[in-house]
Amino acid sequence: MKKIFVLVCALSLFFAGTAFTEPIEFPNGLTIDIAPGWSYEGEGDSIALTAEDKTCAVYITVTDAGDVSGKDTAIAMSKEHDGSKPQQLDEDTYFYVFENERGNNTRVYVGVEDGKLKILSITGDHKDVDEMISTITEKFQ
């Protein structure tokens, strides 16, 4: 997961000056510092973060990969979303883009690392996203 988020942060500009709350630990083993004005919920393997002004939503899923690969998962998801051809970012990490039903662009990062399938999708844009993603840490037992 860390590789995916590092890649996302490296692809985007960082915005400084945002004050963050205390880290929130979610059931899927991730801890994230949430920016003020963002709502969040986490249940099972997934986390949803939404900007107060509804300009951006971030979804994070971390689950057991089983026998799937990042490539195969990205291809299947991209087809389902009628998205772009997945581009390889790292060994088993892929990126694609699609337009949702409301006409908003969604960027999706899919990878398998340490036996975990990790999916990050970002719909819209917000100045807090990169910094929040950079605070993600994993704790798996």
List pLDDT tens digits, range 107-132.
Answer: 999 999 989 999 999 999 999 999 99
Task: Work out how many domains the chain is built from and give that number.
Answer: 1
List pLDDT tens digits, range 40-66.
Answer: 998 889 999 999 999 999 999 999 999
Q: In whole angstroms, what is the distance from residue 12 CA to residue 129 CA?
A: 10
What radius of gyration, in Å, describes the C-alpha atoms of the chain? 14
Structural domain span for residue 87? 2-138
pTM score above 0.75: yes
Mean pLDDT of the 17-40 span: 80
In degrees, rounded to 5, the angle at the alpha carbon of residue 39 between the alpha carbons of residues 25 and 103 is 120
Tokens 């963002």 locate to 38
Of 102 and 60, the one with more pLDDT: 60
Tell me the CATH number at 17: 2.60.120.1690
Per-residue pLDDT band for 13 (boundaries 50, 70, 90) equals very low
Cβ-Cβ contacts under 8 Å for 104 (sequence gap 6 or more): 123, 124
Helix (H) or strand (E) holding 74: helix 70-81
Q: What is the pLDDT of residue 21?
A: 67
Q: How many CA atoms lie within 13 A of 106 on its CB side?
A: 22
